[in-house]
Structures are given as structure tokens and as C-alpha cells.
Chain A
Amino acid sequence: MLMRAYRWLFPHPLLTLLLALIWILLQNEFSAGMAVFGLILGVLIPRLTAVWWPDRPVRFHLGNMATYLIIVLWDILVANVQVAWIVLTKPNSKLRPAWIIIPLELRQPEAISVLAGTITLTPGTVSADLSDEGHSLLVHVLHTDDPDSVRDEIKDRYERRLKEIF
């Protein structure tokens, strides 16, 4: 009974916390009243919008997500410098763009969106499309000599970690 009430009130506990945090950051100063109001919003908004996301992920590892974020931020830094180098030094004729197909093992829509977002955010790769039944992801690479190694790196570096998170 208590569990059901909890589930009804907090359909998505992490979203509640996230909304409260965003509210506090929006205020740009911390006070107890603001934190309470943020929590109220954090309870109300997930409750009112619960109808639109019936299949939320059941388990979600916050710790793994934190390491994942740090890895992605580092990769963004490194890839930025690499792509800047390509932009400044490679003439167009020597550029070898390629389509890469990544067979997906992830099944949850949330996990696939995070993977696609990560691929786009790291410069040099843009996720372009999903196959009609969601078993492969189409990625465009700016410059590569070995498309297979890029695919394996994305699978090993990001997808494997995302499988542990979701």
C-alpha cells in the first residue's frame, strides 16, 4: 500500500531530483524556500506528465552514469582538437568521409538516444538515422582510414558502458 502510494507520487524519483536541481540552479542562489518549491515542482511535473512515458527504464545506475559523463566530456575535448586539426590542415580532396553502420545491442529507446546524442556531441561523428526497426544506427564520420575500427571503438567505449547503466 505504502509502496503503491510512493510509486504514484514519485513515478520517476530521479526526474524529481533533477527538476528540483534545475529549479535551484535557475534561481542562481540557494535558499531553503527555493529548494522546497523546487521539490514541489519536481513532484508535480512528473506526476502530471506520467501519462506520456509509460515505459520508463526500470533500473538506472547513477554512479556508472557519472563515470560515463566524465569519459564523454574527455572524449569531446580530445576529438575537438583532432577535428580542428583536420579542418585546418586536410584539403577537401584528401578528406575521406564514410557512413558507418553500428549494430545495436541496446533496446531501450532512452539508452539508444543517449548513445546517438553522445556520438553527435563528440566531434567527427554525427548519428544520422536509425533503421526502421531500430536494430542499427547510421553514423557519418568526417574522416577515417578505417571505418571498422571507429565502429568497434564506439561499441566498446560507449555502448558497452550504456548497457551497464540501463
Chain B
Amino acid sequence: MTLEVIGIYAVGICLLIGAAFALIGTIGLLKFNDSMTRLHAPTKVGTIGIGALLLASMIHSYVFAEGSLHELLIMAFLFVTAPISANFIAKVNIHKRTCDTPPAPPQDDTWSTLNVPEADREIAKAD
């Protein structure tokens, strides 16, 4: 077996893994019926799904053309930014009370999202 054949199979397997996890993430997004559990599905696509697709791209570039390491950067930026958007969605859910209200923290007064300043309490209630 030549290097190119091995490369083709490796790329194919990585693409299949990535596509499968993207599909499972989408199924999860459709299947779950609560806004917080739904949030769990895309985190999977964002990590292993994209990771496998980028790995396929990297292997392809090394076997068939000049090597490319851009994919590592995409991965790194994705890993740094994905938790922030997930955190924002979770905060919106807590703020709009579209999920079960979380139990109060043991040490401090309340969660920071629920910590509405006194002057704004009336507006928050009207929401």
C-alpha cells in the first residue's frame, strides 16, 4: 500500500467520524425538549465533530499537497470561544426562567445572572 492510499483511507475515516458526530449533535438538538439539555448537543459537534473534520483536512494537505497547520489555529480559537457562547445561552435561559431555577449557592447570596440591582427589580419582574 502506498502512502497515498493510506492517506485516502485516513481522510475518509476522519470525515465519516466528523460527519457522524455532527449528525448525532443535530439529532440531539431536535430530540431534547428542554432548553438546557438542548445546549449539550452542539458542544459535541463543536469539539469532536469539527476536530475530526479538521484532522481530515490536515492529513489531506500533508499527503497530497504542501502541509498546512492552519487547522490547529481553527481548533484553538474554537476551543477558546465555544464555551463563551454556550455560557451566554445558559445565562439567557436562567435569566428568562425558561429552565428550572437552579438551587441557591451555598456560600454567596445568589447566582450572578439572577442578581438584579434593586433599581431594576420592577423591570425584571415585568419581563
Contact = CB atoms under 8 A, between A and B. Distances in A.
Interface of A: 22, 25-26, 28-29, 76-77, 80, 83-84, 87-88, 92, 95, 97, 99, 101, 103, 116-117, 119-121, 123-124, 126-136, 138, 140, 142
A76 to B, nearest CB: 5
Nearest to B26: A87
A131 B107 contact: yes
A80 B41 contact: no
A129 B89 CA distance: 11
Nearest to B32: A92
Nearest to B24: A84
A83 to B, nearest CB: 6
Interface in B24-75: 24-25, 27-28, 31-34, 36-37, 39-41, 43-44, 46-48, 66, 68-70, 72-73
A23 to B, nearest CB: 10
B25 to A, nearest CB: 8
Interface in B69-106: 69-70, 72-73, 79-80, 82-83, 86-87, 90-91, 93-94, 100, 102-103, 105-106
Interface residues of B, number: 48
B37 to A, nearest CB: 5
A114 to B, nearest CB: 10
Contacts of B43: 120-121, 123, 126
Chain B CB count within 10 A is highest, among A84, A127, A128, A142, for: A128
A95 B79 CA distance: 27
A131 B108 contact: yes
B72 A128 contact: no
A119 B24 CA distance: 20
